[in-house]
């Protein structure tokens, strides 16, 4: 088997780069070909992954955060190569869906892991693994980026800082939402379209989502004042928000948003500005590597 390790040296304040020597040592006496590539900026992970998988099949390891992982996914989708996740960023939300423990043995257990097809989402031509969304959360992610480089912020604390920075500035937007069940005109605080359960540094936005059920889980939150949002926030983190009156939940294979005003679209933590977004679920869209359990033999 060919192994390709794509490492974002800037992720997790340098955490990812430490894996390079561990990989070299592991393969020192192995026959399997392996390659290590470092990213230097946005788009590199996707470009590197695509260049490799167009010539051969690889097990491609994303060593970085959710942004790096999203790039690697988009680089290998529609190929026969598989995707492996070594979380080294601040949020690492998709990895939470795998239900694997992250410790020093994770790299070795992933190299020996088993491949299984999972669904992936697609929005405006871009693929995603966990959650794509529009509204206040995209504004939060956009604003949270300014806190990532500060020494006291990481993971959830970065996201919380972004929340309070955004809270009293954000205004909901009017849009038409189309699903398999019909069209709805809404004033939207947040629309989350989910394949996985988590985003935002551990927020359980879609507690019922499954990676292989062939559906997108849709959570819509109506317009609310800042103090109501503060009340909602802890429930969103814990995944206990389904019974709240502002929250509407449904499942669909397709979703479309149209608005006369521009809004920010959050795709696995990457931010884009648009006036419309079309979502689809791609059943069995990627081969994902599931790490061996700690006591599981290869």
Spans of all domains in the chain: 3-120+285-290, 128-283
Please say whether the structural domain 128-283 has been given the CATH code 2.60.200.40.
yes
Give the residue-averaged pLDDT of 44-61: 98
What's the CATH superfamily of 3-120+285-290?
A: Probable inorganic polyphosphate/atp-NAD kinase; domain 1 (3.40.50.10330)
pLDDT, average across residues 140-150? 77
Average pLDDT (247-257) is: 96
Confidence of residue 89 (pLDDT cuts 50, 70, 90): confident
Residue 269 has pLDDT above 70, yes or no: yes
Q: What is the chain written as a DSSP string?
A: --EEEEE-TTGGGGTGGGHHHHHHHHHTT--S-EEEEE--STTHHHHHHHHHHTTS--EEEEEE-HHHHHHHHHHHTTSS-EEEEEE-SS--HHHHHHT---STTHHHHHHT-EEEEEEEEEETTEEESSEEEEEHHHHHHHHHGGGTTSTT--THHHHHHHHHHHHTT---EEEEEEETTEEEEEEEEEEEEESSS-BTTTB-S-TT--TTSS-EEEEEEE---HHHHHHHHHHHHHT--TTSTTEEEEEESEEEEEEEEEEEEEETTEEEEEEEEEEEEEEEEEEEEEPPPTT---
Give the mean model confidence (pLDDT) for residues 25-42: 95
- Phi, psi of 135, deg, nearest 5: 120, -150
Q: Which of 14, 23, 67 is nearest to 45 (CA)?
A: 67
pLDDT at position 78 is 96
Q: Check: pTM over 0.85? Answer yes or no.
A: yes
Selection from 17-26, 75-84, 219-228 with the highest mean pLDDT = 75-84
pLDDT reading at 24 higher than 80: yes
Burial class (CB in 10 A: 0-12, 13-18, 19+), 1: exposed
Residue-wise burial string across 217-256, b where 16 or more C-beta atoms lie within 10 A, e elsewhere: bbbbbbbbeeebbeebbeebbebebeebebbbebbbeebb
Confidence of residue 15 (pLDDT cuts 50, 70, 90): confident
Place of tokens 């317009």: 223
Residue 126 has pLDDT above 80, yes or no: yes
- pLDDT of 110 reads 96
Instruction: Report the percent of the chain where pLDDT is more than 90.
Output: 65
Would the pLDDT of 39 be above 70? yes
Mean pLDDT in residue range 111-130: 97
Range 69-96 average pLDDT: 93
- Which of 227 and 52 is assigned the larger pLDDT? 52
pLDDT of residue 163: 78
Note the pLDDT tens digit of each residue in 94-113.
Answer: 999 887 777 789 999 999 99
pLDDT for the residue numbered 247: 92
Whether the predicted pLDDT of 10 surpasses 70 = yes
Does residue 122 carry a pLDDT above 80? yes
Q: What pLDDT, on the 0 to 100 scale, is given for residue 155?
A: 65
Predicted local confidence at residue 154, as pLDDT: 67
What pLDDT was estimated at residue 156?
Answer: 67
pLDDT at 298: 64
């Amino acid at each position: 088997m060919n192994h390709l390790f794509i490492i974002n040296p800037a992720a997790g304040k340098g955490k990812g780069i430490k894996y390079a020597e561990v990989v070299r040592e592991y393969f020192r006496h192995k026959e399997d070909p392996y390659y290590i590539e470092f990213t230097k900026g946005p788009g590199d992970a996707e470009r590197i992954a695509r260049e490799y998988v167009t010539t051969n099949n690889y097990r491609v390891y994303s060593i970085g955060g959710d942004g790096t992982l999203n790039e690697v996914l988009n680089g290998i989708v529609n190929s026969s190569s598989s995707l492996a996740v070594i979380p080294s960023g601040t949020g690492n939300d998709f990895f939470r869906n795998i239900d694997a423990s992250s410790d020093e043995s994770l790299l070795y257990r992933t190299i020996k892991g088993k491949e299984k097809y999972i669904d992936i989402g697609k929005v405006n031509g871009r693929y995603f693994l966990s959650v794509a969304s529009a509204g206040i959360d995209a504004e939060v992610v956009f604003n949270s980026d300014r806190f990532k480089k500060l020494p006291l912020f990481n993971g959830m604390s970065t996201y919380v800082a972004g929340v309070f920075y955004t809270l009293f500035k954000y205004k909901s937007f009017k849009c038409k939402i189309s699903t398999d069940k019909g069209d709805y005109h809404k004033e939207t605080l947040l629309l989350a379209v989910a394949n996985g359960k988590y985003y935002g540094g551990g927020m359980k936005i879609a507690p019922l989502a499954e990676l292989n059920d062939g559906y997108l889980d849709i959570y819509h939150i109506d317009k609310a004042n800042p103090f109501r949002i503060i009340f909602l926030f802890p429930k969103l983190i814990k995944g206990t928000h389904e019974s709240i009156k502002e929250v509407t939940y449904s499942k669909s294979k397709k979703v479309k948003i149209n608005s006369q005003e521009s809004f920010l679209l959050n795709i696995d933590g990457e931010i884009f500005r648009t006036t419309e977004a079309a979502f689809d679920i791609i059943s069995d869209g990627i081969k994902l590597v599931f790490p061996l359990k700690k006591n599981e033999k290869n």
